[in-house]
A and B are shown apart, each in its own frame.
Chain A
């Protein structure tokens, strides 16, 4: 058996090497092979599989929309936010021709996505051609953290093509108040 010091050095060296290797744990699946090695077959297979699922999913998605919401009756309502510093959105209730069609509660992550420019499709449905009324009620916290509840409405005419309506929450700098608009998306 080696004497004390070399034995200890031996242990320390082993631990150092091991720790340097484990300084960052490895993730087999996220690690790409070096440039001079071919990509693993499994990775290629999973990529192919995911590509197949994506293509299939996209076709199924189109089929579903065309079947359930054909363009001649389709109406979609989107919610967007422009700045939105004076309003912390909680929920939006939507009524179409007096009938409640959506009551959506927003998560923090969704609100953050709206702040960054994302647009939420709040409602997708069918209406007949002709005149309709859309009423949206926004609930949340207004300036100084007070409970805030405001409504906005729009009368619109549904023609043969799909109709897209935008609910927009924006800031009115002069009054330091939020503003809510409902309009047809142009």
Chain B
């Protein structure tokens, strides 16, 4: 049984609209919310996240968590990890993270945010009822940016279940940003028209169709709403209401061709064929690739025919046939070129890889003979999204290529370090052998013992300097001389006694100061010895650790290399698949153009033949009447 929402394409349309809205999310900032960052690495992740560089933000967050550098923001970091995975299209991982948080955390604020994101995950997987359930679990106040997004998600989830009235009620009470509301209302209106509730759909589309639109995106949306509304009125045969809506579409906007065609239909439905010719003749001279222009090539002779201007109708049909033939010929050439496989790489030739995914859009095509076909292709969101994915994969491939190059450089660096280590080691070993730290410590201990003895015995001569010691020894030796006791040496003995006394007095007076100085010297020696011990320990440790560290790095590089190759191979395959899909898409689109052109050609020929038949029948009738 079909769901009330209609088919998958309609649901998909709503999802895309939501995706567009979410893209616009950074624009809904008002005054931005600020967070007090306590861990610099968490702030650094936010720096990339706020610039929509999800890949870098994810990588840095995973690394910061692994290094325990976001401990002050543990739960916020976990929520951010889930949100980033969601933005990066990793729905399963995002769902796992939010479910884990809900199972482990009691904090209501964290739980509300986890439920919100889980709702978003489910919504993006088109699990609309489950998304609604999750969103209804949000009990308290969400941060402002999420609170702004909440009604949008809720209304889209309700629309996904076909509950348009409920969705409309959510949107009516919503004071969100104007562009978000407009997109959601547009989706609602289209869904209601498709479910044959034209009055409700028209109300929603009218609000969008009459809104003030300050930005190009909103102007475009307003045109789309008026176009959809105009054709909806045409379908129920209300040409006047249709004309009113269609005339609001900008004349020079991207939807003007379809609006002009519709205005012509509105006139024609009122049998105002002459008036219908005005927009249709204007259309006829525009680019034939537009389906409205193609339609006008048949509509113009149809109007002439309705006005009984059969000669003009024949001329118009013949002109249409010529235009269709020429276009089919050019399309055949373009199809061949698209099949050659040069299309996709050529489109990204002038790409700037620095532009983040969500900001990126292909706005210019290479100047070539196919340019006018390419403009139609790249205007298609399916092609743009495919191209964006191709670009993503290409960026991943190049990113992995950079890592391969870096790993090579790191391997060289490790080899150089190992070589430098091997070269330096013999001289380091020799140096270590020369330095006998144990002997130094023994000498220091000996010095301390001697100093202690000097202090204990108050050996004042023990602290004498070299000159004083020499003088002391000389004066003491004199006492041992055989001539010392000779009567003629009395004067010398007096002098010796005075000098020794003076020296003794000096040494005694300076004993405390000299002892303190020696103690200080020993303390300084201790510090120097400790530093020498530490450095020696570092050298010994480095001697042991460096080879181990170098080996560990080498092992990590050796283990990462094959993974890098394997993942890059996978990306290459996916890249090829995506390129083939884009190429196929381009070829199919061009073939569809050609087929449409061929169908129009058949219709033109058939109409022409009918006019000729009628004319010849009339002539034959006249002939038989004359006879």
Contact = CB atoms under 8 A, between A and B. Distances in A.
- Tell whether A and B belong to one assembly: yes
Interface of A: 1, 4, 7-9, 11-13, 15-16, 19-21, 23-35, 39, 42, 45-47, 49-65, 67, 76, 78, 80, 109-110, 112-121, 164, 166, 185
B194 A20 contact: yes
B410 A67 contact: yes
B431 interface: no
A59 B564 CA distance: 11
Contact of A118 (B49, B63, B90): B49
Contacts of B380: 25
Given A24-B17, A29-B385, A119 B12 contact: no
**A-B interface, 9 closest residue pairs, ranked by CB to CB distance from nearest:** A119-B43, A118-B47, A113-B50, A25-B381, A31-B12, A27-B385, A16-B235, A24-B13, A32-B126
Interface residues of B, number: 103
Contacts of B216: none
Contacts of A32: 15, 124-126
Contact of A47 (B92, B224, B389): B92
Contacts of A50: 88-90, 396
Given A24-B187, A58-B62, A114-B47, 19 more contacts: A15-B234, A19-B231, A20-B232, A24-B14, A25-B13, A25-B381, A26-B9, A30-B15, A30-B16, A32-B125, A35-B128, A54-B59, A60-B564, A63-B410, A117-B32, A117-B50, A118-B43, A118-B49, A120-B47
A56 B190 contact: no
B283 interface: no
Interface of B: 3, 8-9, 11-17, 19, 29, 32-37, 40, 42-44, 46-51, 55, 58-60, 62-63, 66-67, 88-93, 124-130, 186-187, 190, 193-194, 224, 227-228, 231-232, 234-235, 237, 258, 261-262, 265, 268-269, 295, 299, 302, 306, 380-382, 384-386, 388-389, 396, 399-400, 403, 406-407, 410, 413-414, 553, 556-557, 560, 563-564, 567, 570-571, 574, 577, 606-607, 610
A63 B557 contact: yes
A61 B129 CA distance: 40
A11 B265 contact: yes
Given A23-B190, A116-B34, A45 B15 contact: no
8 contacts: A16-B232, A24-B14, A26-B13, A31-B15, A32-B15, A32-B125, A61-B59, A62-B63
Contact of B269 (A12, A16, A53): A12
A1 B608 CA distance: 12
B567 A52 contact: yes
A84 B479 CA distance: 89
Given A12-B269, A34-B126, A80 B37 contact: yes
B382 A119 contact: no
A91 to B, nearest CB: 16
A162 to B, nearest CB: 9
B93 A15 contact: no
Contacts of A29: 382, 385-386, 388-389
A119 B124 contact: no
Contacts of A31: 8, 11-12, 15-16, 126
B382 A113 contact: no
Contact of A166 (B12, B40, B194): B40
Contact of A27 (B16, B186, B237): B16
Contacts of B40: 76, 78, 80, 119, 121, 164, 166, 185
A53 B364 CA distance: 30
B228 A23 contact: yes
Contact of B46 (A8, A27, A64, A113): A113
A47 B90 contact: yes
Residue of A13, A32, A109 with most partner-chain B CB within 10 A = A32
B67 A62 contact: yes
Given A25-B16, A64-B410, A19 B227 contact: yes
Contacts of A51: 90, 93
Contacts of B66: 58, 62
Nearest to A185: B40
A26 B16 contact: yes
Given A27-B381, A54-B62, A60-B560, A119 B265 contact: no
A20 B13 CA distance: 10
A32 B16 CA distance: 10
Nearest to B568: A53
A30 B385 contact: yes
B89 A67 contact: no
Contacts of A112: 32, 50
Given A16-B234, A61-B59, A119-B43, A42 B577 contact: yes
A20 B59 contact: no
Nearest to A63: B556
A20 B231 contact: yes
A110 B47 contact: yes
Given A30-B16, A31-B16, A50-B88, A110 B190 contact: no
Nearest to A70: B549
